[in-house]
Amino acid sequence: MTEPTIDTARLAEWMDGAGLPGKGEPLEADFLSGGTQNVIYRIRRGDDDCVLRMPPPDAPPDRDKGILREWRIIEALDGTEVPHTAAVGVCPDAAVLGRPFYLMGFVDGWSPMDLHQRKWPAPFDTDLDARAGLAYQLAEGIALLSKVDWKAKGLQDLGRPDGFHERQVDRWTGFFERIKGRDIDGLDVATQWLRTHKPIDFIPGLMHGDYQFANVMYCDGAPARLAAIVDWEMGTVGDPKLDLGWMVQSWPENTEAPSAMSYVDMRGMPSRTDVVDHYAKVSGRQVDDLDYYLVLAKWKLAIVLEQGFQRAGDNEKLLAYGPVIVDLMRSAADLAESSDYR
């Protein structure tokens, strides 16, 4: 597959006109990653280094609005305690590179998605005490995010917090009906439970929407330090505790035992209870209603993955979602039926 390219001359001209660092310096653009939703390039100009993020040419038109939403969130995080990439500049004009794009600071660190053979980088590969810090830092990232004053940051129109939980059930139930290709055991039980249960309290806040090890970067070396939360496609103003539920829905209580979080080695990590307690301490939010968020996260993730499974064709990776989805939905229903949360 040929790596996509961008017009570096046009980009340099735009950056110069916007008064961004590196004016007049030669510009180098290196493709880092990308797919159907976004393409990412590392941009170098002299001593300056940043990252460009934009939809690919064949992405759906709504990704243009999505990329500008991402920019608003990243820009709003400036001046907060949330680990994030610096907001460098945004170009809503598709005439420059073919799609709107933004520039963010380059993060000198590593991503858990870069792991080879599911092996943490040194010293976390052998120092299990140091590895525990990766988990606590992960929880701390969304705890700090939940404390951002989104109204003061001008994000009142980013989401619709009123009726958030009612819309979650209606939206994803309707989504499932549109893609439905099979019945999934436990779906009706979990759906009905979510309709008849609500959080103890709902304090709207900024949320990531897909928070997990895959969407953060860490600084090199120990102790563990979160360098940045990345990939804000699902970012909105909603219920931040759904980020917590999403993060720990498959997190085991005993991290020495095999778990559904098979893409990382969980040995040495704190238990789910300890991670959740750390979130509560940093965020100042109560977590007595965690079961509600776990049911919601498992139920929602199963429906999200079902779309890929229904479109899998002969794609082995997507076909592998089949039994995972069944297990997730059954787990959501079992928790709903056994939970003492009322």
Measured between alpha carbons, how far is 100 from 122 in angstroms, rounded to an integer? 38
Share of the chain above pLDDT 90, in %: 88
Beta strands in 92-190 (DSSP E): 101-105
110 strand-pairing partners:
218
The answer, yes or no, to whether residue 1 has pLDDT greater than 70, is no
Tens of pLDDT, residues 36-88? 778 999 999 989 999 999 999 989 999 999 999 999 999 999 999 999 999 99
80 strand-pairing partners:
none
Q: What is the DSSP letter of 225?
A: -
Longest dimension (CA), the chain: 65
Ramachandran bin of 47, using left for φ above 0, alpha for ψ from -120 to 50, beta for the remaining angles: alpha
pLDDT of the residue at 2: 67
Please say whether the beta carbons of 233 and 304 come within 8 A: no
- Is the peptide bond prior to 123 cis by the omega test (within 30 degrees of 0)? yes
pLDDT of the residue at 37: 79
Report residue 53: phi and psi, to 5°: -130, 130
Q: What is the DSSP letter of 54?
A: E
Tokens of residue 105, six digits = 């600071």
pLDDT of the residue at 234: 94
Lowest mean pLDDT among 56-60, 142-146, 286-290: 56-60
Of 263 and 176, which is predicted with more confidence?
Answer: 176
pLDDT of the residue at 117: 67
Q: Is the dihedral of CA 207, 213, 218, 224 positive or negative?
A: positive
User: Quick one: pLDDT band at residue 168, thresholds 50, 70, 90?
Assistant: very high
